[in-house]
Amino acid sequence: MSGASTPDTGPDVRPQAGPGRAIVVVRVVVGAVGVLVGLYGAYLFLSRQTQSRQLVSAAKYLVGGVVLNDLLIALVVLALGFVVVRFVPPVVRAPLVVGGVVLGSVTLLAIPVLLAKGRKPDNPTLLDRDFVGGWWVFAAVVVVSVVAWIVVRLVVARRSPA
C-alpha cells in the first residue's frame, strides 16, 4: 500500500462532443437540397416572367412583406408580449401565447379570402364558400381550447402542493 491517494479532480468538465458525423452529413445534404430547390424556384420565377412589370410587382410584394413584418407585426407582437408578461399570471401565459400565435397567424394568412380578393362575378366557383363563417368557427375553437387549457392548468395548480 503506497498511502498516496489520488487527487480529487472534481466533476468531469470535458466539453460535450458536438453532433455526430452522421448528423452533420444529414444537415449538409438537407441544406444542399434546400439550396438547389431555392435556385430552381428562382429560375422558374425569373424564366416565366413575360413582362418587367411582373418582376416589379413581385419585388414590391416581397419587400412589402418584410417591411410590414418588421415595422408593424413585430411591434404589435412585442407590445402584446410585454402586456402578457406584465399583467397575466404565469399559469395562464402559455395557453394565451399559443392561442394568440395560432389565431393571429391563421388570420393573417386568411386575410385575402376573408376580404374576397380574387372573387369574380363571371366565375361563381372562385371563393364560393363562407370563409368568414369558417374563420369565426375556427376562432371559436381556438378560444374554447385556450379557455379549457387555462381551466385545466388552474385546477392542477390549485391541487398541487405549494
pLDDT of residue 1: 45
What is the grid cell recorded at 85?
Answer: 408578461
pLDDT of residue 162: 63
pLDDT of residue 144: 98
Q: With left for phi above 0 and alpha for psi between -120 and 50, is residue 116 left, alpha or beta?
A: left
pLDDT < 70 stretches in the chain: 1-17, 162
pLDDT of residue 3: 47
pLDDT of residue 9: 60
